[in-house]
Amino acid sequence: MRKNKIKEIWAAGKCATLGWLSVPNTFTAEVMARQGFDALCVDLQHGLSEMKDVAPMLQAISQTDTVPVVRVAWNEPAAIMKALDLGAYCIIVPLVNNAEEAARAVAACRYPPVGMRSSGPVRAVHYGGADYVAKANDEIVVMAMIETREGLENLEAICATPGLDAVYIGPADLSFALGLTPRGDNPDPLHIATCDKIRETAHKAGIKCVMHCAAAPFAAGAVKRGFDMVMLTADLSCMIAGARQQLEELKAKSA
C-alpha cells in the first residue's frame, strides 16, 4: 500500500504543511497540489465543495505526492467512509465534543475488527494499492477537531481515544468557546494559552496536534511552539491576497 507521507514526516519528528481547498475545482486543486504542500485538504464543512466534487479533486491532487485530505461536514460515518473510499488518506472531523464522539470518528475510519468501516474502496484501492484493505488501518490518519467548550472540558479523554492520530485546532470556533471574537491567527493571550494546552495534552497522550493558521508568520510561530502540522493557507485566500496586492501596487505606482 502507498505510504502515508504525513505519518512518515511525523515519524521523522518533523512538522508537516497542509494547504486548504475552499473552491470546488480540479484545476485549482491540481495547481495547489503542485506548490509543495505535504498535504492538501478538500473542505466539505465550510468550503464550497460537496461530496460529488471530492473524487475529481482527489484525482487532481493524486497527480502529485501531496497527501489527499478531506474535512467532512459532520461526524457522520457514511460521509467519512465515502471520502475514504474515494481516496482520502486523512480525515478531519469537526466539532468533536467528547471521547465517545472521537471513538465514533475513529471507528468509521478503521476496518473490522478495529472499527466499523465497510469494505468497498472503489477508488482508494487504485490509489493506495492492491493490499489497501489489509493495510489501510495502519496508514489512514484521523483527526478530531477541538473547538468547543465541551471539547475543551473533555480534552484529556478525547486525546486518549484509541486509534486517534491527532487533534486539530479550529481557531474560529475555539474563539467562540472562549468568549472571544473569531479572527484569523488570533494573538489573544487566552487563545494562545488554550492552543498550547491542547498541544501539550495531545503530546502527553502520545498523539499529534495540528494548528489551523491563516498566514506564514503565525504558522512559523506555531512550528516553533511545537505543533506537528500547520495549515498554512487556502486557495481562495491566495487568490484574494494576490489580486489585492497587484491592485494596490498598480495604484501606488500609477499615482
What distance lies between CA 166 and its chain's CA centroid?
10
Burial class (CB in 10 A: 0-12, 13-18, 19+), 132: buried
Single out the catalytic residue among 46, 191, 203, 212: 46
- For 3-35, the DSSP string reads --HHHHHHHTT--EEEEEE-S--HHHHHHHHTT
Taking every pair of C-alpha atoms in the chain, what is the biggest distance, in angstroms? 68
| Catalytic residue status for 46 | yes
Nearest 5 degrees, angle CA 18-CA 11-CA 202?
Answer: 70
**Residue position matching grid coordinates 494559552:** 193
Cell numbers placing 150? 465541551
At residue 43, what are phi and psi to the nearest 5 degrees?
Answer: -95, 110
Contact partners, residue 236, CB within 8 Å, separation at least 6: 22, 23
Q: Which are the catalytic amino acids?
A: 46
